[in-house]
Amino acid sequence: MKKGFVIILFCLTTLAAAFYFAKYQFSKNNPAVPQENAPSLPPVSQDLQNFSGNQTESSNPGASEKQSVRPLQPPLDRSAERVTKKPFGIFITPQNSPVQPEKFRGYHTGTDFEIFPEEVDADVNVYAICSGTIALKESASGYGGVLVQNCQLDNQPITAIYGHLKLASISKKTSENLNAGETIGILGKAYSLETDGERKHLHLGIHRGSSISIRGYAGSQAQLSGWIDPCSHICN
Ligand SMILES: [Zn+2]
């Protein structure tokens, strides 16, 4: 009996020792122990940092990314279907022009958006393609009513030129803000002072920079490079 007790005691001691050893080994390999696992820790904490970084800074990069990739708003309903006569960059002469009679000559600095047959006598709303203040609102030769708006595109300053508008329909004044998609006014009446004798349509130009130019035709390709094709942003 005494011998058996000693054996049991030995076994219990061995088990206790084995358990203690195993526990020691576990805590030794535990990732919570900093020094030994230092090499594997930085990537984990770095990932977490990046994650939390993105979380906290999401408003800024997200907003700028949204701004730079966001296409401009269309200036009219069904804009893409309306570009049937004078696209951006087309070289116009009185002889070759798709619009007759023609008094202009040069590279078209904007895009012309035509009206649909049912819109001949209807009010056709024109919407701001971007958000920004009104830099100019006047009656000008070649346009009739024209409005110029200061905007940003891909974080660069641009001006948007809306030609052939009915000035009296524009309630906002110079230096007031227009939000993208906001109604500016309506198209001018065909062959009237509101369009300076042109057909009823919208001429939309996008000029690089913040200086104002409302020229509808450029004399050379080099001059045309100061303008951006509106359809590369709003006709798809
Ligand atoms: Zn035009």
- Domain residue ranges of the chain, discontinuous segments joined by +: 2-57, 71-234
CA of 80 to the centre of ligand 1 (A): 15
CA of 157 to the centre of ligand 1 (A): 22
* In the predicted structure, residue 9 carries a pLDDT above the cut 80: no
Q: What average pLDDT does the segment 183-193 reach?
A: 97
Q: Are 216 and 163 in contact (CB under 8 A)?
A: yes
CA of 49 to the centre of ligand 1 (A): 52
* In the predicted structure, residue 159 carries a pLDDT above the cut 60: yes
* In the predicted structure, residue 112 carries a pLDDT above the cut 80: yes
Confidence of residue 71 (pLDDT cuts 50, 70, 90): confident
Average pLDDT across the chain, whole number: 80
Q: What average pLDDT does the segment 115-138 reach?
A: 97
Confidence of residue 97 (pLDDT cuts 50, 70, 90): very high
Q: What average pLDDT does the segment 177-200 reach?
A: 97
Better pLDDT: 190 or 36: 190
The predicted structure's pLDDT at residue 70: 55
The per-residue pLDDT for range 146-158, each reduced to its tens digit, is: 999 999 999 999 9
- State which CATH number among 2.60.40.10, 1.10.8.870, 2.70.70.10, 1.10.10.10 fits the domain covering 71-234: 2.70.70.10
Q: How far is CA 216 from the centre of its chain?
A: 24
Match 């009915």 to its residue by tokens.
166
The predicted structure's pLDDT at residue 3: 54
The predicted structure's pLDDT at residue 236: 72
* In the predicted structure, residue 198 carries a pLDDT above the cut 80: yes
Q: What average pLDDT does the segment 124-136 reach?
A: 98
The per-residue pLDDT for range 42-54, each reduced to its tens digit, is: 333 333 333 333 3
Burial class (CB in 10 A: 0-12, 13-18, 19+), 132: buried
* Structure tokens given for 17: 């020792």
Better pLDDT: 33 or 114: 114
Give 204's strand partners: 111, 162
CA of 226 to the centre of ligand 1 (A): 16
The predicted structure's pLDDT at residue 43: 37
Amino acid identity for residue 128 in this structure: A
CA of 67 to the centre of ligand 1 (A): 27
